[in-house]
Amino acid sequence: MPVALMKVHLCHKDREGKDNNIMSKEIIKIENLKRDFTMGTETVHALKGISYTIHEGEFVTIMGSSGSGKSTMLNILGCLDQPTSGTYEIDGVSMKDLSRNELATIRNEKIGFIFQSYNLLARTSAIENVELPLLYNSKVSTEERRERAIKALEMVGLADRLHHTPAQLSGGQQQRVAIARSLVNNPVLILADEATGNLDTRTSYEIMSLFQELNKQGITITFVTHEPDIATFSSRTIVLKDGNIIQDYLNDNIQSAAEELAKLPKEDH
Amino acid sequence: MRVLNLLKIAYKAIVLNKLRTLLTMLGIIIGVASVIAMLAIGEGSKESIRTTISSMGSNMITVRPGEDDRGPARGSGGDVQTLTLNDYKEIKEKSTLLNYITPVVNGGGQVINGSNNWPSTIYGVYPEYLDIKVVGLQSGSMFTDAEVQSASKVVLLGQTVVDNIFPDGEDPIGKLIRFNSIPFTVIGVLEEKGENTFGQDQDDIVIAPFSTVQKRILAIDYLNQIMASAASEDDAPEAVTQVTEILRAQHKLLDYEDDDFTVRSMEELISTFSSTSEMLTVLLVAVAGISLLIGGIGIMNIMYVSVKERTKEIGLRMAVGGKGSDILMQFLIEAILISITGGVLGVILGLSATVFIEKFLHWPTSVAMYSIVISFAVCAITGIFFGWYPARKAAALDPITALRYE
Ligand SMILES: Nc1ncnc2c1ncn2[C@@H]1O[C@H](COP(=O)(O)OP(=O)(O)OP(=O)(O)O)[C@@H](O)[C@H]1O
Ligand SMILES: [Mg+2]
């Protein structure tokens, strides 16, 4: 929230960093991050050396045209992929210093990741899909796991679809199962890759208001989207183009998704 | 807690992929079962040949007319007429290593008692026959040398013949029966011997004095064979040589001429048969080995492909926080559950098949413990390894790489 209150239009991470250190800690810090994909003789430079810092409690949207490197970047932030070069510090710890098991634990306990292509387990009910991250957390009991999964599905409006398998759900419903799965482990950082891409305006506003709610509770959110109106709900926008950051600005007029939702005509639903 | 979760995950995955599980198990089941059943047949026939032959008297020596060119299982050599009663007399007189000796003539015909008749084979022999064949009598007595001399019309019957021509269970001793058209008095019933390894009924037999059969029934002047028994098992090989020499002299064969008769000892027969059954076992072991190999390759394939196919699933599990070791344990547990269950079912199926073969096909079987252990171990280890190995490779990837696997 402190960041959201700042009226300054920022392009210099130096200043941003200085101002925020006083109030909250850096949860994501990347520096000169590069990611190359080699396919045979050809090399794709998906990320060409990007740097920025995200503080705890920020709600950042990442925008950019298709193929600009948004998913590539988010995968690295989610500890699902390794950068070719550059540094990534998550909560003050460099990713390079973490073992595979430590990364798994971070993914399990700290991060909620929503995939662009959902990645639900086929032939598995919604509730079991949502329970999945908790199965790998030995601190959560069977009963608690079930309770939390049901609660997460309720939050995304799927309380009546607990036992449906992905094949029995619409695209938007599958997307919401994926969102519920990312919430179930009470993450401190949510990374969403076009989490509302398949939802109608009303449902996506509902999801955005849910995210705003979570953000108010202190959860940091990084949200990839193509839709400019979705970006107005966030506190900061980073725009990528061809693997570079071309814009990084704070949003001085954050809209409330709940209010926008109320303004929508009823027949829209 | 952790282990319980992993068991739960593995169990869910197995239930989730019923068809895959079934196919993998099927490969293991068939592999294990076929190896057990095949080796049971091989072991069984080997054992049964061994026991049959040794019960036939291992001192026995047979002389048949004709050259030895048709292997061990040849017939009576009926159309070769080089063996005569004089040969018998010469051997009996000159040989020093034989206890008992008898000429044998035999022929087929109908055994008739009133309205019951039964086709059987009649053997014309001397009383020594019983000592040579090591057969006793159930009832009655053997004919005497005097009865042979006088060509008496007396017979001894095997149990099968008795069962068929005396269906009401009367005592056959003293009864008058006919063989073809000639009347005989039954004076004895032979001890039951059952089937031999080759499925022949050893009780389907009629025994009568040699001269009676040779003259009155067959009307021939040659012998079908001469049977003898060596004084001891150790004497048998030397007795064979001796008999051969006597007969060559008797037949006035020149050095370059081949024998026109065949002398065999039981021991030779045993070794011939046991090498045949040995070959059978080797063959069955080879077939079993091949089916085990094919089964193993099948298991390997389906395990490998199905785990490979689940690379995406592995990626997702890692993405939501599964550690490499969690993934590996899950697949290991899955593979163990599938392989062990399949192996146990395979053993059950193999044993059932063995019982079935014994009961309905009447083949002798004997289940060897080693066949169970080896087939189970090979299939289970293959299943487990190829369930684990591709999973290990997938779990070593970055989550996103595994997730992107198509
Ligand atoms: N595994 C990979 N192998 C090779 N090239 C890749 C791989 N992943 C991404 N790329 C390339 O990197 C570039 C950036 O891809 P990325 O998925 O990050 O785009 P994006 O911004 O998420 O696009 P979209 O909005 O369509 O999802 C693309 O040119 C893509 O072809
Ligand atoms: Mg993308």
Burial B132-168 (b: 16+ CB within 10 A, else e): bbebeeeebebbeeebbeebbbbbbbbbbbbebbbee
Q: Do B321 and A100 touch (CB under 8 A)?
A: no
Residues 6+ apart with CB under 8 A from B91: B63, B98, B101, B226, B228, B243, B246, B247
User: Distance of CA B286 to CAs B28, B31, B282, B283, B290, Å?
Assistant: 18, 14, 6, 5, 6
- Look at residue B94 and tell me if it is in a domain: yes
Neighbour count for residue B256 (Cβ, 10 Å): 5
Burial of A97 (0-12, 13-18, 19+ CB in 10 A): exposed
Same domain, B280 and B201: no
Q: Which residues of B touch A137 (CB under 8 A)?
A: 321
Expressed in angstroms, the distance from the first to the final Cα of chain B is 33
Examine the fold and report which residue of B228, B259, B290 is the final residue of a domain before the chain moves on.
Answer: B259
- Look at residue B241 and tell me if it is in a domain: yes
Q: Do A135 and B398 touch (CB under 8 A)?
A: no
Query: In this predicted model, which residue has the larger pLDDT, B58 or B69?
Result: B58
Backbone angles phi and psi of B137, in degrees to 5: -115, 140
Most confident of A107-116, A195-204, B76-85, B323-332: A107-116
CA angle, residues A97, A182, A30, in degrees to nearest 5 = 35
Segment among B131-135, B158-162, B256-260, B287-291 with least mean pLDDT: B287-291
Nearest CA to ligand 1 atom 11: A46
Dihedral sign, Cα of residue A165, residue A167, residue A169, residue A174: positive
Burial of B15 (0-12, 13-18, 19+ CB in 10 A): exposed
Which helix (H) or strand (E) segment is B61 a member of?
A: strand B60-65
Structural domain that includes position A206: 3-251
- Look at residue B72 and tell me if it is in a domain: no
User: Could you identify the atom of ligand 1 that is nearest to the CA of residue A240?
Assistant: 21
- CA–centroid distance, A240 to ligand 2, in Å, is 12
Same domain, B209 and B166: yes
Q: Which of A135, A138, A185 to mutate to test the interface with B (most CBs of B within 10 A)?
A: A135
Q: What is the pLDDT of residues A158-175, one digit of tens each?
A: 999 999 999 999 988 999
Name the average pLDDT for chain B.
85
- Look at residue A260 and tell me if it is in a domain: no
For residue A36, the one-letter residue type is: D
What is the tally of structural domains in chain B?
2
Backbone angles phi and psi of B111, in degrees to 5: -95, 125
CA atoms within 13 A on the CB side of A212: 22
Q: What is the pLDDT of residues B373-405, one digit of tens each?
A: 988 898 888 888 888 888 888 889 889 999 988
- Look at residue A49 and tell me if it is in a domain: yes
- Look at residue B213 and tell me if it is in a domain: yes
Nearest CA to ligand 1 atom 30: A67
Instruction: Please give the Cα distance from B214 to A75 (Å, whole number).
Output: 102
Residue that has been written with the tokens 């920020």 in this structure: A58
Among A61, A72, A73, which residue has the most ligand 1 atoms within 8 Å of its CB, making it the best to mutate?
A72
Residues 6+ apart with CB under 8 A from B249: none
Examine the fold and report which residue of B207, B236, B259 is the final residue of a domain before the chain moves on.
Answer: B259
Which strands make up the sheet holding A220-224, listed edge to edge? A111-114, A189-193, A220-224, A59-64, A236-241, A244-250
- Look at residue B399 and tell me if it is in a domain: yes
pLDDT score of B59: 80
CATH number at residue A166: 3.40.50.300
Same domain, B89 and B36: no
All residue ranges of chain A with pLDDT < 50 are 1-22, 268-269
Same domain, B132 and B25: no
Per-residue pLDDT, averaged over B104-110, amounts to 93
Per-residue pLDDT, averaged over B243-254, amounts to 90
Same domain, B311 and B398: yes
Q: Which of B262, B266, B215, B198 is nearest to B236 (CA)?
A: B266
Q: Do A101 and B2 touch (CB under 8 A)?
A: no
Examine the fold and report which residue of B233, B259, B285 is the final residue of a domain before the chain moves on.
Answer: B259
Same domain, B302 and B205: no
pTM, entire model:
0.70
Structural domain that includes position B108: 83-259
Q: Do B16 and A123 touch (CB under 8 A)?
A: yes
Instruction: Please give the Cα distance from B198 to B201 (Å, whole number).
Output: 9
Q: How many CB pairs under 8 A join A and B?
A: 70
- Look at residue A71 and tell me if it is in a domain: yes
Q: Which residues of B touch A84 (CB under 8 A)?
A: none
Which helix (H) or strand (E) segment is A247 a member of?
A: strand A244-250
The residue of chain B with its CA nearest to that of A139 is: B1
If you compute the radius of gyration of chain B from its CA atoms, what whole number of angstroms results?
33
Backbone angles phi and psi of B77, in degrees to 5: 65, 35
Pair A242, A72: CB distance under 8 Å: no
Is the predicted pLDDT of residue B334 greater than 50, yes or no?
yes
Same domain, B238 and B136: yes
Q: What is the pLDDT of residues B109-143, one digit of tens each?
A: 999 998 898 999 999 999 999 988 888 899 999 99
- Look at residue B247 and tell me if it is in a domain: yes
What is the tally of structural domains in chain A?
1
- Look at residue B89 and tell me if it is in a domain: yes
B93: left (phi over 0), alpha (psi -120 to 50) or beta: alpha
Pairing of strands A189-193, A220-224: parallel
Pair B144, B127: CB distance under 8 Å: yes
Q: Do A135 and B8 touch (CB under 8 A)?
A: yes
pLDDT score of A19: 46
- Look at residue A133 and tell me if it is in a domain: yes
Q: Which of B129, B122, B121 is nearest to B145 (CA)?
A: B129
Is the predicted pLDDT of residue B77 greater than 70, yes or no?
no
CA distance, residue A154 to nearest chain B CA (Å): 20
CA atoms within 13 A on the CB side of A243: 13
Instruction: Please give the Cα distance from B310 to B330 (Å, whole number).
Output: 12
State the maximum Cα–Cα separation within chain B, in Å, rounded to a whole number. Answer: 103
Same domain, B32 and B138: no
The residue of chain A with its CA nearest to that of B330 is: A136
Which residue among B312, B313, B321 sits closest to A133, beta carbon to beta carbon?
B321
Nearest CA to ligand 1 atom 17: A71
Q: Using a 6 Å CB cutoff, which residues line ligand 1?
A: A 37, 39, 44, 46, 64, 66-72, 116; B 404
Same domain, B218 and B312: no
- Look at residue B221 and tell me if it is in a domain: yes
Among A38, A43, A44, which residue has the most ligand 1 atoms within 8 Å of its CB, making it the best to mutate?
A44
Segment among A183-187, A247-251, B229-233, B249-253 with least mean pLDDT: B229-233
Instruction: Please give the Cα distance from B92 to B247 (Å, whole number).
Output: 11
Same domain, B224 and B98: yes
Q: Which of A63, A60, A50, A52 is nearest to A26 (CA)?
A: A52
Is the predicted pLDDT of residue B299 greater than 80, yes or no?
no
Same domain, B111 and B150: yes
If you compute the radius of gyration of chain A from its CA atoms, what whole number of angstroms results?
18
pLDDT score of B235: 83
DSSP for B196-219, please give it.
-TTS-BTT--EEEEHHIIIIIII-
- CA–centroid distance, A148 to ligand 2, in Å, is 29
Same domain, B178 and B45: no
Q: What is the pLDDT of residues B131-182, one digit of tens each?
A: 888 888 999 999 999 999 999 999 999 999 999 999 988 899 999 999 998 9
pLDDT score of A3: 42
- Look at residue A223 and tell me if it is in a domain: yes
